[in-house]
C-alpha cells in the first residue's frame, strides 16, 4: 500500500517535472553550478533501470545530491555517515539522492554495494557522466545541497575528516540545519581530497 502510494506520488511528480524541464534546460550552464543557481533537472536510472527525475526525488525541505562511488576508499569511508544523514533528516523532509557517475562501476555493482553498505537512499547511475558534467562534479564524495526551491545552497565535502576520527567541522550537516531553520547557509562550500570521477 505504502509502495503503491509512493509510486503514485513519483508518477505525479514525474509528470510535473516533465512539464518543467523545458525551462530548466535553458539553465544548463557550461560553468560549475553556482551557489544560488537552480540545480538542473534530470532523468536517470537507478540500479534496476527504473527512471527517476530529479523533481520526483525532491525533498520537501531540501534535497541532498551526493556523487558517490563503489570502489573509492574515500567515498567508502563516508558510507556510514551518508546513511546516517539520510536517516537523521528523512523525517524532516530532506531527501538524499546518490549518483554514481563512474563509468568503471556498473549498475549491478552499485546495487550490491548499496546493499552491503546499508545505503538505503536512492542511488542513480549516470551513464556517460552527463549529470556529473552538468553539476561539474569531479570528486567522490561530493555533496550538493538544494533548498526547497531547488537552488544550490551548499557544495563540497561532508565534513573535514575522512577517517572520522578528527571531525572538527561538519559543513554539510550545518548547511542542512540552517536550511531547515530557514536561515542562510554560512559556509556555502568547502573542498576535500577524494577520488576523481571516472568519466567515460
Partner 1 sequence: MTGGLLKAAALCAALACAAGLTSACGGQVAAPKQGAAKPAAKPQGAAKPEGGGVKSAAPKVTEIKEVDLKTLLGAGSVRERPLLVNFWATWCAPCREEFPDLVEIRGQYGEDRLDFVLVSLDEPSDIGKAVPEFLAEARAASFPSYLLNADDSDAAINLVDPSWSGELPATFLYDRSGALVFKHKGRVKPAELRDALDAALE
For partner 1, the closer of residues 10 and 69 by Cβ is 69
Write down the least CB distance from residue 71 to partner 1, Å.
Answer: 7
Residue ranges of alpha helices (H) inside 95-129 are 107-117
Write down the least CB distance from residue 172 to partner 1, Å.
Answer: 13
For partner 1, the closer of residues 99 and 195 by Cβ is 195
Yes or no: say if 105 and 65 are a contact pair by the CB < 8 Å rule.
no
Write down the least CB distance from residue 178 to partner 1, Å.
Answer: 18
Applying CB under 8 A, the residues found at the interface with partner 1 are 71, 73-74, 137-139, 142, 156-157, 160, 162-163, 189-198
For partner 1, the closer of residues 5 and 163 by Cβ is 163
**Chain-centre distance for alpha carbon 135:** 11
For partner 1, the closer of residues 73 and 128 by Cβ is 73
Q: Is 168 helix (H, G, I), strand (E, B) or coil?
A: coil
Yes or no: say if 97 and 39 are a contact pair by the CB < 8 Å rule.
no
| 45 Cβ neighbours under 8 A, 6+ residues apart | 51, 52, 107, 124, 125, 127
For partner 1, the closer of residues 84 and 187 by Cβ is 187
Q: Retrieve residue 180's grid coordinates.
A: 531547515
Burial class (CB in 10 A: 0-12, 13-18, 19+), 25: exposed
For partner 1, the closer of residues 73 and 118 by Cβ is 73
DSSP assignment letter at 197: P
Write down the least CB distance from residue 58 to partner 1, Å.
Answer: 25
Name residue, grid cell 527504473: 50
Rg (CA), the chain: 16
Write down the least CB distance from residue 94 to partner 1, Å.
Answer: 23
Q: Retrieve residue 147's grid coordinates.
A: 533548498
Write down the least CB distance from residue 141 to partner 1, Å.
Answer: 11
Amino acid at each position: 500500500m505504502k509502495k503503491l502510494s509512493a509510486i503514485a506520488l513519483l508518477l505525479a511528480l514525474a509528470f510535473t517535472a516533465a512539464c518543467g524541464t523545458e525551462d530548466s534546460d535553458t539553465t544548463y550552464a557550461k560553468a560549475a553550478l553556482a551557489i544560488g543557481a537552480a540545480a538542473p533537472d534530470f532523468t536517470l536510472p537507478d540500479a534496476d533501470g527504473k527512471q527517476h527525475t530529479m523533481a520526483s526525488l525532491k525533498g520537501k525541505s531540501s534535497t541532498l545530491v551526493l556523487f558517490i562511488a563503489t570502489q573509492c576508499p574515500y567515498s567508502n569511508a563516508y558510507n556510514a555517515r551518508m546513511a546516517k544523514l539520510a536517516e537523521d533528516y528523512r523525517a524532516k523532509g530532506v531527501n538524499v539522492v546518490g549518483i554514481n557517475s563512474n563509468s568503471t562501476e556498473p549498475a549491478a555493482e552499485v546495487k550490491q554495494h548499496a546493499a552491503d553498505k546499508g545505503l538505503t537512499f536512492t542511488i542513480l547511475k549516470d551513464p556517460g557522466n552527463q549529470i556529473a558534467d552538468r553539476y561539474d562534479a569531479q570528486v567522490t564524495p561530493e555533496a550538493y545541497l538544494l533548498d526547497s526551491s531547488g537552488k544550490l545552497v551548499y557544495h563540497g565535502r561532508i565534513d573535514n575528516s575522512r577517517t572520522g576520527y578528527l571531525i572538527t567541522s561538519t559543513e554539510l550537516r550545518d548547511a542542512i540545519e540552517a536550511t531547515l531553520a530557514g536561515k542562510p547557509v554560512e559556509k556555502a562550500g568547502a573542498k576535500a581530497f577524494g577520488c576523481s570521477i571516472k568519466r567515460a
